[in-house]
Amino acid sequence: MSLTETATQVVVDEEAKRLPKELSPDQLARRRFYRNPTAVIGVIVLAIIVLASVLAPLISPYDPSAIDLESIRQPPSPEHLLGTDSTGRDVFSRLLAGGQVSLSVGFLAAIIAVTLGTLAGVLAGWFGGITDTVISRIVDIMLSVPAVLVIIVLAGVIGPSVPLLIGIIALLSWPSSARIARGVVLSLREEEFVQAARVLGSRSGYIIRRHLVPGVLPPVVVSATILVAEAVLLESSLSFLGAGVQPPQSSWGNMLNEAQSLTVLSSMPWLWVPAGLLIAATVLSAMAIGDGIRDAIDPRKNK
Amino acid sequence: MLRSLTTRLSSSVLVFLLVAVGLFTLVRLAPGDPIDMMVPPEVDGADREAYTTALREKYGLDQPIFVQFFRWFGGLMVGDLGYSYSNGQPVGQLLADRLGPTILLMGSALLLGLLIAIPGGVLAAVKRNSIADYTISTVSVVAIAVPSFFLGMLSIYIFAVRLRVLPSAGMHGSGRTDVGDLLYHMVLPVCLLGLAIAASLIRYVRSGMMEELSKDYVRAVVAKGAGPARVLSHALRNSLIPLVTVIALSIPGVLAGAVVLEQIFAWPGMGQLAIASLTNRDYPVLIGFGLYIAVVVLACNLIADLLYAVVDPRVRTAK
Amino acid sequence: SASSAPPAESDEPTSANVYLYQKPVTFNPLVAGLGAEALTMSLVYDTLYTTDPEFAYQPRLAESWDVSDDATEYTFHLRDGLEWSDGEPLTADDIVYSFNLYANPATASIYASRLAGVEGYDEFKAGTADSLSGVEAVDDQTVKITLKAPNAGFMSLLVGSFFILPEHVLGDVEPAALPDDEYFTLPDVGAGPYTMKEFNVDQDVVLEKNDNYRTDVGIDTLYLKMLTSDVATAQLATGEMDLVQLSALDLGAVEGLPGVTVSSKPSAGFLRLLVNFEKFPDELVRQAFLTAIDREGIIDGVLSGYGQPINSTIMTPWALPDDLDTYDYDPDRAKELLEEAGWDFSQEVKLTWIPGTRDRDQSVEVILENLKAIGVNAVANQIESAAQLPMIENAEYDLMVSGGGTYTTDPAASVAPLSCATVYPAGGNTSLFCNPELDALMAEGQQIADPDERAEVYQEAARVDNENVPYLWLYVPDTIWATSERLKGFEPHGDFTNGFWNAADWTISE
Amino acid sequence: MTTVNHTATAAGDAPAVLRVEDLKVHFTSAAINGRKRTVYAVDGVSFTVRENETLGIIGESGCGKSTTGRALVHLNDPTSGRIAFRGHDITRPGRAEQHELRQKMQFVFQDPQSSLNPRMTIQEILAEPLRAFGRWKGNSGPAKAAELLDRVGLPATARNRYPHEFSGGQRQRIGIARALALDPELLILDEPVSALDVSVQAQVLNLLMDLRASSSLSSVMISHDLDVIRHVSDRIVVMYLGVIVESGPADQVLDQPAHPYTAALASATPPSSPDEVRQRIVLQGELPSASNPPSGCRFHTRCWRADEVCETVVPVLSPIDGAGVRSVACHHPLLLGMPAMRREGAA
Amino acid sequence: MNRMPLSTTRSDAALSLRGVTLDLQTPSGPVRILHDISFDVAPGEVIGIVGESGSGKSMTALTVLRLLPPGAELSGSIQFSGRDLASLSSRELREVRGKHIGMVFQDPMTTLDPVVRVGAQIDEAYRIHHRRASHAEVRRRTIEMLELVGVPDAAQRAQQYPHQWSGGMRQRAAIAMALVNDPAVIIADEPTTALDATIQAQVLDVLMRARDELGVAVVLITHDLGVIAQTASRVVVMYAGRIVEVASTHELFADSRHPYSNALMRSQPGAHERGEPLVAIPGRPPSMTDLPLGCAFAPRCASPYKNDRCFAERPELELSIDGRLSACHYRDVRQEVIA
Ligand SMILES: Nc1ncnc2c1ncn2[C@@H]1O[C@H](COP(=O)(O)OP(=O)(O)OP(=O)(O)O)[C@@H](O)[C@H]1O
Ligand SMILES: Nc1ncnc2c1ncn2[C@@H]1O[C@H](COP(=O)(O)OP(=O)(O)OP(=O)(O)O)[C@@H](O)[C@H]1O
Ligand SMILES: [Mg+2]
Ligand SMILES: [Mg+2]
């Protein structure tokens, strides 16, 4: 062994002792994320909202659909923390139940869309050629389809329901994830470590699993958070147009819709303010988390 | 240039046809018979039958579905979108009647959105991490996070009902047709839609500006001794190039927003027509509306490509 | 009779803004079916007679009428000096012309079948006659309608439609071409208090007063504005609106507004549940369902008290006995009834409805809870409006929410929803109900011209109906109107499609 | 320390490991304006790599060096021509054949930063080729990794660390270790040191020289740095716009260029000492584009010796010395033995 | 030993840096990027700055014209024709930028605004400092400059966009832009690194001609010692944000005093016989956020004199007995070739 090599070896070991362990890009990203107060607050807020909705059956003081015509449109009181609606149902309980609906629409739609989109994008980006052409064409067409209109029509065709809403939102959202994934894969394809994997004899399945998917994941997670936000908003807008979650099932969207009535808007704030706040809080948290991840993985922001 | 235009055009036509076929199929999957909707329930017995048959014949609904399709498609090829089931008027006419107000609303909102987004985004990018930047980001994020129908209701309540400074709805006051009155009625819907547009665009402008400002050529301009205005104009010009595409891609979103706001503000545009035809199951109008949106989107993409070439010399002068 | 309105105080033209709750499409009375179209047309066209807020007949073009003792001949005497808005005289010929149009198969009028009882209708329809022989002009001011068979309730059939059209304008148009005639997009000649000046798509209808109307019209210009009810309510507050038909939910918003008057009348419409007779033939079950529903609660809660419960398909006040079972809310009793009927509590009962109307949606929520409370396995089933009729035709529903129209004017109108002969799709019996005994009573009532005798027969029919529960009647909501301080002379009408019945008497005072 | 015997003819008679004949690689791409554009990246290149020999490929940016190298391992598909490995035609191998070939020919990439997946540990990186051939066994795997690291002068403890914890030179050595994992017979190195700092590139060059001394490994070394190429290769080929303009033993070609382009390139390379006097040939004009190469001799647009013949007639690569060691493709080659280009004052 | 040999500014210097220290704001707090940088440039002189990637060469260049990222803190002085650039207002600084001191950046592909015609960009550089110049005059000057740097068909080429120019031509345009106002100093940050060898020769030629014909002083930053050998008369060697040695080019190549410079010289393949092992510097430069206590080079130093002092105490940039400037405790001992 030559002197240079020995010297190097010593230095490597020395370095290991002397220098604090350098952080990997992923670790750095994680650290940057946790140092971003907005993103951390987003995580906390979203966690609380999700938890409350998941635990809704346990913490709801009333059955969310139990009507009580004796006490309708009651302002908040110790019995009804957030008052009652026009058929005397407990607004707080409905809010929790509505959260289950709105959040499952948001999260499930985003998860399905992102899974579909990532898969399609990775395949298109990696295999290129006809696969890419076909997938990209579909993506183009899907992106030019007006989402709201399609949802309204389909809801009319099949009858509005939560699974349908989730399905259609997912179906209309995957192209954006696919575009992102495809873009990342196209650049990863040119990365030397991916080309190296090919030269080293690795097969497509392995390359996709070990090299592409981990690389695609961070930006796709960013797009997922945005999709969650968009889906929650879309649900509420659709409820406004009459194609969303249908009463008596509650969702934040159709609770906020109560504000369509001037009476409710002006004199019964407890009927819509909490739903509005929760929508805004969920959307804002999701976007803050997305921004946080984006900033964290952006290589231009070093350290 | 020309060659690429023709390829783009033909692929747009292909997409359009696919959308057309898709819409037709989708709409025909719907349960229920539109004819039933047209005949009031109080018409009964043999009358109903006769009436129904007559209507069915009139609209060609007695034919097998593929015959209906080819008829419809043939009509489409010559610009005939059929007749509305609910009032028998030509669909093209119905759409055309409402095109003006929608374009007026969308166009002014887009303009306003850009007027807010560009200076705002530039300011945020230049004063990065300053109070101004955070304020702009927060406002835009909040504007995105609050559903526009809700903002619409709220602003009617505040500005029309409470403060009584703006009209609550419509395009004109009773019996007025003058421009001043029109502008007065445009304030709320245009501001809301414009704000929504600005909220989403401002982030692109900001990040685009930030990206350009960090590029070498900007530093080179500073090194020439240029003042801030000159430096910004260089960066802005470059950051506007990708923005052209972003704007084109945001048009469907703007349209969706317009549908909602037209509904709230009783704005006599396409959105109201679309919602009405949905409840009426007015298939020809629905399809017409869908195709209209497809045309708008495809046209915007095409225009974006052309504009891209105009603003980006790298594309324009490619040999 | 119409009281003459005081002339406008100054020369300043006056105008009023009126909320139109739907978007009219056509002003062709032969085919127009929307409430908003009827409202608009009631300002532009005139009718022989109408109903007042108490649902009593009110003369309009006809000053008076006679009915033959056997209830087969109806003679209408027109007022003196009637004119169209363009100054042409309006005569009995116009009336005959119009009725012929409604009956003419070529115009495909949706109201044709209401004239089915008129002599010569069948021939006209079959094409063997070229006019309706049962309608004739006795002289310039007298029109006689002859029926094939006695029908004491005939006049009720003509309420709400049968607008009179100008023969001098439309006479040359082929009846078959009439429905598409341009006249109906902007009818500028009419006999109503107003003439149409503009129809701005999705915005407003502008009406100018008809100077040739038989009385002075109080307001120069009316703007019928197409808005959402929320916006209309808001505009009432801003002074942009003078007359709004409200939903009970928005009452709170306007009640506090300075200068806004709220008035109401029981409406001509009602909300009921169709109860599929083929699936629930046992009246005990139907009675149980009705007893289980807290109708008073719904009226108080959902309608803020603006509504009345009903207990029979027959609704005309004079045809109702005092001793009807009111099926008061009593879950225990309901349960007993079900048990008595041997009800299978695991059976799913689908409550079908078209969502989108707030008071209906809320009522449905209450009903679902009520049914569940007595152990019925009730589930909600939302459908699109287009799916409704096929579902009824195929008897695929269990319970279905359904609104309904004017049965109030005359009990004869209740034949359609009740008789075995009119089970849907043959007619309007959407509950698919059939009871020959009830059919016989209803038929009998139609033959009798004498009011007292008639009342007796119908009261008996109402009792049978009440016990059979062919529908789960819920309530008759009140029609609520809110008017601004400026608008004077408005008298609320329960039939909201006839809400502008005295529009000529309205005035504006600043 | 091992010193290698660098006689130009040392490998001259050794059997050929790789023979490339008239290799062409063209890229056809849709340009922005929709019109197709063909880049003649490699346009007829022939050379041979002999056993235990290092062949250097030199030339300016865009002349097709990388494309040639990548075509050898089928990262680019040859448009035409023939590639033979130990006599077997491997121009267009089947899937299975190509997979097998991976074990024989390996590739080292330019950028050690980007050629290692930042999310994998060194051990995982080294395992990748072994796994692809089912040669990574539970127990022997880590041992094999340690052995490979030892071969490139890194401690076994490096196994569990991530690429970012190493310097550029160390990373490139990991890249080389990975290429060696399958015991290839031929190593293709595409600019293995040009992304490295001068002080660090020495580590890698030393390793390459050591490897060659200790094992019978043939290699193709691609670089634009004349000093680097001269230092490590036996023979070199000089490329210009997709074609070979000159080839021969490294010292001879660089010290006594026969092709005017080689001469210009050699003279344009800054000397390594301020005292060195070098007659510089500063070329006129810009590098032409590979999608629109000049007619005739591709260098004629910048050549000071060009005449009409050069504009029209394509010169053929042909021997210029008796031994057939040196070849040049030029109508007007520089005379051999011209002293002007000699390096003077070098240590 | 002579402390602070450069404490006084040479009156004839075109540009003179004294104790320039730069802190940059990073998300994890301020980081000192440049430590106490001092050197002079004489008129008409070419001074080279060499050093490893990340050693602060570019930052030094940017610091002169204060083209620094927001939050940068600068101390020390930058003397230029009687003014201290470090303390000028931004308005005054703009007068200096591009007019008296020109700048050429590394990557010719990105230093020109892609959407503005090349000629217009040079026009702009001139017009900024000659507001009253007529359009024709400005354009004449632009063409003149383009011809000076050897762009053929200058008038016509000026109408083209940067992407229509090759890399070498763009870099010449950048040089033309830097020269258009007759500056006293040009700072060129790796002006040829992105270029091909034959093109690099052309561009260096242009720079040297400008120096010869216009008498500008050139600060030439590069990591290529060959380029230094060919062009510079004096060299500043940087390591980890510090100057470790300043020497005339000849002295540096023949007899470098700092172990880093020494190893750098000898790690070049061109300085060795073919196949001979090269001198490698093991390890890698320290991170700026985490500099060792003593000499930053100590962990990699292969000098036989390296000892604990090197790890404990930081050597200053000082003169050796024979008048050579370096930052090594053992500057007076001639560095031996490490074998
Ligand atoms: N995938 C590709 N598609 C299209 N053109 C390509 C592709 N790869 C390379 N080229 C083009 O082929 C030519 C040769 O490229 P190549 O990378 O082989 O050059 P090189 O000699 O390695 O240059 P460098 O020194 O810059 O690495 C260039 O003009 C390049 O732009
Ligand atoms: N904006 C910045 N914020 C924080 N640190 C920076 C910034 N820009 C550069 N640095 C750091 O400053 C140090 C010096 O960078 P500089 O660009 O001057 O190096 P260099 O010698 O020019 O290297 P190269 O040869 O790679 O161009 C590096 O450690 C770099 O990471
Ligand atoms: Mg290459
Ligand atoms: Mg640098």
pLDDT of C98-138, one tens digit each?
999 999 888 878 788 788 889 999 899 888 988 899 999 99
Q: How far apart are CA E121 and CA E305, in angstroms?
A: 54
pLDDT at position D343 is: 37
Cα nearest neighbour of E203 on chain D:
D282
pLDDT at position E42 is: 92
Minimal CA–CA distance to E109: which of E159, E165, E59, E157?
E165
Contact flag for E and D (3+ C-beta pairs < 8 Å): yes
Of C391-395, C410-414, E117-121, E140-144, the least confident = C410-414
Mean pLDDT of E221-240: 90
C113 neighbourhood in chain B, CB within 8 Å: 43-45, 47
Contact call for residues C218 and C508 (beta carbons, < 8 A): yes
pLDDT at position B42 is: 56
CATH number, domain of A129, equals: 1.10.3720.10
Give the three-state DSSP class for D236. strand
Ligand 3 centroid to residue D115 C-alpha, Å = 14
Q: How far apart are CA D290 and CA E253, in angstroms?
A: 39
Query: Is D19's pLDDT higher than 80?
Result: yes
Q: How far apart are CA C176 and CA D95, in angstroms?
A: 76
| Neighbour order of strands in the sheet with D186-190 | D105-108, D186-190, D218-223, D54-59, D235-240, D243-249, D327-328, D318-319
CA distance E106 to chain A (A): 19
Q: What is the DSSP letter of B158?
A: I
Query: Is C44's pLDDT higher than 60?
Result: yes
- Contact E51 CB / ligand 2 (< 6 Å): yes
Which pLDDT band holds residue E19 (cuts at 50, 70, 90)?
A: very high
Q: List subunits contacting chain E, requiring 3 or more Cβ pairs under 8 Å.
A: A, B, D
Of A64-78, C465-479, D174-188, the least confident = A64-78
* Token pair for C41: 């047309």
Task: Please report, for residues E162, E211, E212, E222, E242, the alpha-carbon distance to residue E186 in angstroms, rounded to integers and kept in the order given.
Answer: 22, 9, 13, 14, 22
Q: What is the mean pLDDT of chain E?
A: 87
CB contact under 8 A, D272 and E268: yes
Residue D201 lies in a domain: no
pLDDT at position A299 is: 52
* Alpha-carbon dihedral angle through residues C496, C497, C500, C502, given to the nearest 10 degrees: -90
Distant-in-sequence, close-in-space partners of C250: CB < 8 Å, separation ≥ 6:
A261, A262, A263, C229, C230, C233
Q: How far apart are CA A233 and CA B144, in angstroms?
A: 9
pLDDT of C316-328, one tens digit each?
888 889 888 989 9
pLDDT of C255-270, one tens digit each?
777 888 888 888 877 8
Residue D139 lies in a domain: yes
B144 neighbourhood in chain A, CB within 8 Å: 229, 233, 283, 287
Contact call for residues D147 and D180 (beta carbons, < 8 A): no
* Token pair for E86: 């470090």
pLDDT at position A4 is: 42
Q: Which residue lies with its CA nearest to atom 11 of ligand 1?
A: D41
pLDDT at position D185 is: 92
Task: Quote the distance between the C-alpha of residue B259 and its chain's center.
Answer: 8
Minimal CA–CA distance to A250: which of A229, A282, A234, A272?
A272
pLDDT at position D263 is: 92
* Token pair for C347: 């059976």
pLDDT of B87-109, one tens digit each?
777 888 888 888 899 999 999 99
Q: How far apart are CA D36 and CA C295, in angstroms?
A: 76
Contact call for residues E264 and E225 (beta carbons, < 8 A): yes
Contact call for residues C210 and C454 (beta carbons, < 8 A): no
Query: Is D338's pLDDT higher than 60?
Result: no
Task: Please report, for residues E107, E119, E161, the alpha-carbon distance to residue E125 in angstroms, rounded to integers and kept in the order given.
Answer: 19, 10, 16
- Contact E26 CB / ligand 2 (< 6 Å): yes
Task: Quote the distance between the C-alpha of residue D257 and its chain's center.
Answer: 19
Asked if B257 reaches chain C (Cβ–Cβ under 8 Å), the answer is no
Residue D160 lies in a domain: yes
Q: What is the mean pLDDT of chain B?
A: 82
Cα nearest neighbour of D231 on chain E:
E274
The residue type found at B149 is F
Query: Is E3's pLDDT higher than 70?
Result: no
The residue type found at B283 is Y
| Cα angle value C333/C334/C339 (rounded, 5°) | 95
Minimal CA–CA distance to D275: which of E229, E269, E49?
E229
CA distance D31 to chain B (A): 8
Q: Residues of A near C (CB-CB distance < 8 A)?
A: 65-67, 69, 72, 86-88, 156, 159-160, 242, 246-248, 260-264, 266-267
Most confident of B192-206, D234-248, E245-259, E285-299: D234-248
Mean pLDDT of D247-273: 88
pLDDT of B160-215, one tens digit each?
888 888 888 888 887 788 888 899 999 999 999 999 999 988 988 998 898 898 88
What letters, b where the CB count within 10 A reaches 16 and e where it falls short, cover D179-206? bbbbebbbbbbbbbbebbbbbbbbbbbb
Residues with CB under 5 A from ligand 4 (ion): E 58
- Contact E55 CB / ligand 2 (< 6 Å): yes
Q: How many domains does chain D have?
A: 1
Q: How far apart are CA A123 and CA A116, in angstroms?
A: 11
Mean pLDDT of D170-183: 91
Which pLDDT band holds residue D340 (cuts at 50, 70, 90)?
A: very low
Q: How many CB pairs under 8 A join B and E?
A: 80
pLDDT at position C448 is: 84
Q: Residues of D near B (CB-CB distance < 8 A)?
A: 31-35
* Strands E318-319 and E242-248, bridge-based pairing: unpaired
pLDDT of D201-220, one tens digit each?
888 898 888 888 888 889 99
What letters, b where the CB count within 10 A reaches 16 and e where it falls short, cover E111-138? bbbbbbbbbbbbbbbbbbbeeeeeeeeb
Residue A80 lies in a domain: no
CB contact under 8 A, D275 and E253: yes
Task: Please report, for residues B125, C58, C286, C491, C497, the alpha-carbon distance to residue C501 in angstroms, rounded to integers and kept in the order given.
Answer: 64, 10, 38, 8, 9
Q: Is the peptide bond before E43 cis (omega within 30 degrees of 0)?
A: no
Spell out, as residue ranges, where chain A has pLDDT lower than 50.
Answer: 1-20, 301-303
Query: Is D178's pLDDT higher than 70?
Result: yes
Contact call for residues C164 and C88 (beta carbons, < 8 A): no
Q: List subunits contacting chain C, requiring 3 or more Cβ pairs under 8 Å.
A: A, B
pLDDT at position B281 is: 67
The residue type found at D113 is Q
Q: How many domains does chain A have?
A: 1
CA distance D12 to chain A (A): 29
Of B177-186, C418-427, D100-109, D224-233, the least confident = C418-427
pLDDT at position A144 is: 63
D155 neighbourhood in chain A, CB within 8 Å: 9, 12-13
Q: Round the CA-based radius of gyration of chain B to a whole number and report it.
A: 24
Q: Is the Cα dihedral B249, B251, B252, B257 positive or negative?
A: positive
pLDDT at position E1 is: 37
Q: How far apart are CA A271 and CA A75, in angstroms?
A: 9
* Probe residue for ligand 1, chosen from D65, D107, D223, D241 as the CB with the greatest number of ligand atoms within 8 Å: D65
What is the domain partition of chain B in residue ranges? 37-80, 98-240
Which pLDDT band holds residue E7 (cuts at 50, 70, 90)?
A: very low
- Residue A90 has phi, psi (to 5 degrees) of -75, 120
Q: How many CB pairs under 8 A join B and C?
A: 134
Q: How far apart are CA D43 and CA D28, in angstroms?
A: 14
* Token pair for C213: 């109307």
Cα nearest neighbour of A176 on chain B:
B249
Q: Which domain holds residue D134?
A: 115-183
User: Any bridge partners for residue E75, and if so which?
Assistant: E21
* Probe residue for ligand 1, chosen from D23, D28, D29, D39 as the CB with the greatest number of ligand atoms within 8 Å: D39
* Probe residue for ligand 2, chosen from E20, E24, E264 as the CB with the greatest number of ligand atoms within 8 Å: E24
Give the three-state DSSP class for E17. strand
pLDDT of D39-57, one tens digit each?
899 999 999 999 889 999 9
Asked if A298 reaches chain E (Cβ–Cβ under 8 Å), the answer is no
Distant-in-sequence, close-in-space partners of A129: CB < 8 Å, separation ≥ 6:
none
Q: Which of E31, E276, E290, E311 to probe by mutation at the A interface, max A CB count within 10 Å?
A: E290
Q: How far apart are CA D153 and CA D211, in angstroms?
A: 11
A10 neighbourhood in chain E, CB within 8 Å: 282
D232 neighbourhood in chain E, CB within 8 Å: 269, 274-275
pLDDT of D65-124, one tens digit each?
999 999 999 998 899 999 999 988 998 888 888 888 899 999 999 888 889 998 888 999
CB contact under 8 A, C302 and A86: yes
- Contact E283 CB / ligand 2 (< 6 Å): no
Contact flag for D and A (3+ C-beta pairs < 8 Å): yes
pLDDT at position E113 is: 92
Phi-psi region of D161 (alpha: psi -120 to 50; beta: other; left: phi over 0): beta
- Contact D224 CB / ligand 1 (< 6 Å): yes
Q: What is the DSSP letter of C147?
A: B
pLDDT of B15-35, one tens digit each?
788 878 887 887 776 665 667
Mean pLDDT of B61-82: 81
CA distance A247 to chain C (A): 7
* Probe residue for ligand 1, chosen from D23, D26, D63, D111 as the CB with the greatest number of ligand atoms within 8 Å: D63
* Strands D186-190 and C487-488, bridge-based pairing: unpaired
Cα nearest neighbour of B314 on chain D:
D32
ipTM confidence score: 0.77
pLDDT at position A145 is: 65
Contact call for residues D270 and E230 (beta carbons, < 8 A): yes
Ranges of beta strands (E only) in chain D are: 16-30, 36-50, 54-59, 80-85, 88-89, 105-108, 186-190, 218-223, 235-240, 243-249, 318-319, 327-328
- The label of the residue with tokens 């590098």 reads D287
| Nearest atom within ligand 2 for CA of residue D197 | 25
Q: What is the DSSP letter of C400?
A: E
Mean pLDDT of C78-101: 92
Residue A239 lies in a domain: yes
pLDDT of E120-164, one tens digit each?
999 999 999 999 999 999 999 999 999 988 888 899 999 999 988
Residues of D (20-59) whose Cβ lies below 8 Å from E: none
Distant-in-sequence, close-in-space partners of C486: CB < 8 Å, separation ≥ 6:
C16, C242, C508, C509, C510
Ligand 3 centroid to residue D63 C-alpha, Å = 8
Mean pLDDT of B148-152: 84
A8 neighbourhood in chain E, CB within 8 Å: 280, 282-283
From the CA of E59, which ligand is nearest?
2
pLDDT at position B22 is: 81
Of C95-104, D172-181, E282-291, the least confident = E282-291
Q: What is the mean pLDDT of chain C?
A: 86
| Neighbour order of strands in the sheet with E101-104 | E101-104, E185-189, E217-221, E46-51, E234-239, E242-248, E325-326, E318-319
* Token pair for B79: 């610009």
* Token pair for D201: 């590139």
Q: Which domain holds residue A197?
A: 23-61+90-296
Q: List subunits contacting chain B, requiring 3 or more Cβ pairs under 8 Å.
A: A, C, D, E
Asked if E275 reaches chain D (Cβ–Cβ under 8 Å), the answer is yes
